[in-house]
Amino acid sequence: MNRAEVLRMEREKVLTNFKEDNANRAKWLAALMDIDDEMEEMEKNQNSPFDQN
């Protein structure tokens, strides 16, 4: 399982917690933002013209 798959699974868990755990919504929103930022950064790096792969 690669990092992108792990992040997608974790994102789904966080979304579920965000919907169900109203007392800690800020915590889950911050976690969701962190995951989305990492996924965006990975996508940006894959599309980089300087990528040596």
The structure tokens 């040596």 sit at: 52
Q: Tell whether 32 is covered by a domain.
A: yes
C-alpha distance across the termini of the chain, in Å: 19
pLDDT interval class at 52 (50, 70, 90): low
* Per-residue tokens: 18: 């965000």
Chain-centroid distance of CA 27 in Å reads 14
For the chain, what is the domain count? 1
Q: Tell whether 50 is covered by a domain.
A: no
2, amino acid identity = N
Q: Tell whether 42 is covered by a domain.
A: no
User: What's this model's pTM, rounded to 2 decimal places?
Assistant: 0.81
pLDDT interval class at 48 (50, 70, 90): confident
Q: What is the mean pLDDT of the chain?
A: 92
pLDDT tens string 12-28: 999 999 999 999 999 99
Q: Tell whether 2 is covered by a domain.
A: no
pLDDT interval class at 4 (50, 70, 90): very high
